[in-house]
Amino acid sequence: MADILRFADKLGPAKIVQVYEPSIDLKAVLVIDNISMGPAFGGIRMAADVSIEECIRLARTMTLKNAAAGLSHGGAKTVVYADPKMPKPEKERLIRALACALRNFREYVMGPDMGTDEECMAWIKDELNNRNVTGLPAEAGGIPIDQIGATAWGLRHAIEAALPYCHFPEACTLAESRVAIQGFGAVGKNAARFLIEQNAILVGAADSQGAVYDPEGLDVNKLIRLKDAGKSVVDIPEGEKFPRDDIIDFDCDIWIPAARPDVVTEENVHRLKAKLVVEGANIPITEAAEKYLHDQGVMVIPDFIANAGGVLCAGMEYQGKIESEVLEIIEKLIRKNTRLILEESRTKKITPREAAMNLAVRRVERAMSFKRWSIY
């Protein structure tokens, strides 16, 4: 096995923890990347194809995201090697066992991510005697992140703030811009909803079953009803159907990845047609592909700036704030950060990601400078 310390750099990861319980086939990894700014926030991702490397990269994204959002929290992530669609009693047992296994890591605050939800967080809170957990159901004191569409709300505002900086030939407004969304779950479908409220046109959507394209515009409410009924976007009768990954070829102005990591790489990046890419998913585009897009004049708003709405919501839940305060704070902060990095990118002739890294890493390093041992 390759040495796990090969991932270590000046920020972390501080801890990599293997969780294994053979009696119920629980296999998971917790990565606590950096806690110099405070207890680490990091969702629990459940999927059959996760990996340690994915977990390490996602934990780093959380460190940067929390720092850029001005939260006094570090970054972490947990991955559970399992199919999230397993029968509920089995899932509950796995999640409760995971909570027990991680109970002594007090510097880690658990939250939901792909494959886990607010009910899972309620099980964890129950299992750990009311310890702090984020992403809880409203009935357990939480702010329902996915129900209010916190992350998607932030994406909408990142897009509006970015449009004046894009190389669009016509007026820079959301109205009439053609959008394609990869992944039609909590983030993707809420993003579609918020964007069509501004008269944008959803021309393409994809989920794990396939992709659908209609240059005249898809009926977003119909797509949401299908997904809520457990169906796929390709079950909509209108539009042309394609294999899932073909969404990268769809003719559109704005492309929103809102599903898995590394969906755009050096191999397929030249197929993207949009002028603006806003990363709803974490690490959806490899570094080399993102650089290629920048060189082609395509603007990419990086994950840890664009999709910080969810973690801002978690931060407010942690501080005991209420739902009505959340959306306004997300709107203000994401617009401000988007403009900040795009200005710096323009004046210093660097990519938006490089500008965002400067902002976040500067904050983490300053927090580290106050500590005896930098991270601990």
Beta carbon of residue 33, minimum distance to ligand NAD (angstroms, whole number): 15
In this structure, the dihedral spanned by the alpha carbons of residues 274, 115, 128 and 150, taken in order and rounded to 10 degrees, is: 30
Q: What are phi and psi of 224, to 5 degrees?
A: -65, -40
**Least Å distance between CB 227 and ligand NAD?**
7
Choice between 54 and 375, CB closer to ligand NAD: 54
- Smaller CB separation from ligand NAD, 135 or 368: 135
Q: How far is the CB of 79 from ligand NAD (least distance, A)?
A: 11
Q: How far apart are CA 263 and CA 245, in angstroms?
A: 8
Q: Is the peptide bond before 164 cis (omega within 30 degrees of 0)?
A: no
DSSP state of 264: B
Decide whether 99 or 314 has the Cβ nearer to ligand NAD: 314
Cα–Cα dist 328/154, whole Å: 10
Residue 285's φ and ψ, nearest 5 degrees, are -125, 130
Q: How far is the CB of 307 from ligand NAD (least distance, A)?
A: 4
Q: Using CB under 6 A as the criterion, which residues of the chain lie in contact with ligand NAD when the complex forms?
A: 113-114, 145-146, 151, 182-188, 206-208, 244, 258-260, 280-282, 307, 310
Nearer residue to ligand NAD within complex by CB, 278 or 355: 278
Q: Phi and psi of 60, rounded to 5°?
A: -65, -40
| Spatial contact of 218 and 240, defined as CB atoms under 8 Å apart | no
Tokens of 33: 């990347």
Report which DSSP code applies to 294.
H
Q: Which residues contact 138 (CB under 8 A, 6 or more apart)?
A: 144, 323
77 is catalytic: yes
Q: Give the residue with the Cβ less far from ligand NAD, 207 or 253.
A: 207
- Residue 376 makes CB contacts below 8 A (sequence gap 6+) with 14, 35
Residue closer to ligand NAD (CB basis): 74 or 183: 183
DSSP H stretches of helix in the chain? 52-68, 88-101, 118-127, 145-148, 150-162, 186-197, 220-228, 287-295, 303-306, 309-318, 323-348, 352-369
Q: How far is the CB of 353 from ligand NAD (least distance, A)?
A: 16
308 vs 229: CA distance, rounded Å:
28
Q: Which residue is nearest to ligand NAD (CB)?
A: 185
Report the nearest approach of ligand NAD to the CB of residue 126 (Å): 22
Q: Which of 15, 65, 77, 125 is catalytic?
A: 77
Q: How far is the CB of 19 from ligand NAD (least distance, A)?
A: 20
Which tokens is 195 given?
């964007």
Question: Which amino acid would we find at residue 236?
Answer: I
- For ligand NAD, the closer of residues 185 and 217 by Cβ is 185
Helix, strand or coil, per DSSP, at residue 55: helix
> Which residue type sits at 193?
R
Task: List active site positions.
Answer: 77
